[in-house]
């Protein structure tokens, strides 16, 4: 039991959530009939959403920096990845 408690850290829980989300995203993309179009629309919406949050996000308290990492997360994950970034920022600010 102590071993399980030691393994269940917040960081490990976050890694598990990200891994499950990536698996779900990969399965969803593979089930699409038009995979390339779906990928481009998802990546485009993520990058556009990231840009909108960066320039106009001050109104609702989420203004992520434009770095290679955030652009990659927004491009690969789309809008759900932006929600994940917002959740992570919320968790870090409230600590």
Higher-scoring residue by pLDDT: 60, 11: 60
94 band by pLDDT with thresholds 50, 70 and 90: low
Residue pLDDT, tens place only, 57-83? 888 888 888 888 888 888 888 888 888
The separation between CA 17 and the C-alpha centre of its own chain, rounded to angstroms, equals: 10
Q: And the tokens for 35?
A: 């995979």
For residue 75, the enclosing domain spans 2-94
Round to whole Å and give the CA distance between 18 and 24: 10
Round to whole Å and give the CA distance between 28 and 41: 13
Is pTM beyond 0.75? Reply is: no
Q: For 64, which DSSP code?
A: -
Q: Count up the domains in the chain and report the number.
A: 1
Residue pLDDT, tens place only, 12-60? 776 787 788 778 877 877 888 888 888 888 888 989 989 998 999 888 8
């Amino acid at each position: 039991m102590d071993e399980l408690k030691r393994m269940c850290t917040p960081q490990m829980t976050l890694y598990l959530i990200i891994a499950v989300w990536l698996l779900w995203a990969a399965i969803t993309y593979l089930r699409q009939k038009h995979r390339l179009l779906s990928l481009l629309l998802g990546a485009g919406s993520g990058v556009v959403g990231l840009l909108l949050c960066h320039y106009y996000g001050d109104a609702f308290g989420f203004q992520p920096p434009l770095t290679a990492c955030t652009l990659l997360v927004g491009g690969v994950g789309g809008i759900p990845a932006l929600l994940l970034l917002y959740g992570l920022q919320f968790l870090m600010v409230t600590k």
